[in-house]
Structure 1
Amino acid sequence: MSAKINTNAIMNYGTIYGIVIIAMSLILYILGIENDGNFVFLINLAVTIGALYFFMNKYKMEVGAGFISFITSFRLGILLTFFGGVITAFYNWVFLSFIDPSSIDKAKEKAYESAISNGKSAEQAITELEMVEPFMTPIGMTLIALLVFLVMGLIISAIVSAFIKNENPNPFSEEV
């Protein structure tokens, strides 16, 4: 028997998580470092780990009276990153469609330069860009961002859940 998850709490936590990711994206954009892939990835990773740990622990204390099973924590993390990912993906679409459509061209240029610096010829770099061209649209990049959020959420949820779980020793109480 698995515990029922409080959907309102998850939606609230996911909204807060999404807003934090959006705020970080805006700060990086204003600072002009939004295209530094590794740095941005590490920041998003740190925020995701921190948010999942914080909200899973908060849920464990407030809803589970200090107890939470691995599976409940895992489901909580997946749902949290899903809601946060949907909010962030919508922001990503708005950003790429209306705020700074030129960022797609900047991403293409960066991909081309990266291919050249990795020893590929100009022709090979252009061929690679042509292969990913259908995904280099606001909708394509938004869907990829959502997929990345879901995969990252799945992996990080499993890891954080392993640390945060605290099984209830009373087998007759409701599982949380």
Structure 2
Amino acid sequence: MTEKEPSVSSVALKWGFIFALVGVVFTLILMIAGLAENRWLSSLSYIILIAGIVIAMKNYKSQNYGYMSYGQGLGIGSLVSAIYGFLSGLVSWLYIEFVDPAYMTRVMDKQREAMITQGLTDEQIDAAVAMAENFQGPVTMILGATVITLRLFRVV
């Protein structure tokens, strides 16, 4: 009698939700503390994602007697990344929309100051701000976060 192979999706969903929750809490702490614009601290959320992918893959391999094909690993990593990105985008949008509506204004003001320091003209700054405002809706924030984390997984 052969043992049943574990499900890629069940392992990925379990660890994807666990690590997405950790990442969301970390990101919310940064946003509330006003540290989300700190690139070094914000990049630590990617370490959380990578840890989630690695642990999910190790868990799958241990359930499957030490074997995991390339396709199974790719599936696990993609699902964990998609869950992480989707939940991160959703919670960020909810926070910005309902908890701290002035958050994006503060971020845009800092970006405007950085562009002035770089020597951009008023027209260039206005165009950049207008473009950034197009990406502040719920769909673009949630899908954007999902796509970004999926692209990160492809790089790793």
Query: Where on the TM-score scale, by shorter chain, does this alignment land: which range?
Result: 0.7 to 0.9
Cα deviation 1:37-66 (Å, max 9, x = unaligned): x2244212211222211221121112x211
- Which residue in the other structure is 1:88 paired with? 88
Relative contact order higher in (CA < 8 Å, ≥ 6 apart): 1
- Which residue in the other structure is 1:33 paired with? 35
Residues 137, 113 of structure 1: alpha-carbon distance in 2 compared, 3 angstrom cutoff: farther
- Which residue in the other structure is 1:54 paired with? 55
Deviating 4+ runs (over 6 angstroms): none
- Cα distance in 2 for partners of 1:136, 1:94 equals 12
Instruction: Please tell me the root mean square deviation across aligned C-alpha atoms, in Å.
Output: 2.0
User: How many positions carry a matched residue from both structures?
Assistant: 152
- Cα distance in 1 for partners of 2:141, 2:111 equals 14
Residues 138, 24 of structure 1: alpha-carbon distance in 2 compared, 3 angstrom cutoff: same
TM-score norm. by structure 2 comes to 0.85
Of stretches 84-93 and 74-83 in structure 1, the one that deviates more from structure 2 is 84-93
- In structure 1, the gaps of 5 or more residues are 157-176
Asked whether the equivalents of residues 93 and 139 of structure 1 are also in contact (C-alpha less than 8 Å), the reply is no
Cα deviation 1:78-128 (Å, max 9, x = unaligned): 011112222222212211211111111112112211211222123321222
- Which residue in the other structure is 1:155 paired with? 155
- In structure 2, the gaps of 5 or more residues are none
Residues 96, 31 of structure 1: alpha-carbon distance in 2 compared, 3 angstrom cutoff: closer
TM-score norm. by structure 1 comes to 0.76
User: Residue 73 of structure 2 aligns to which amino acid in structure 1?
Assistant: S
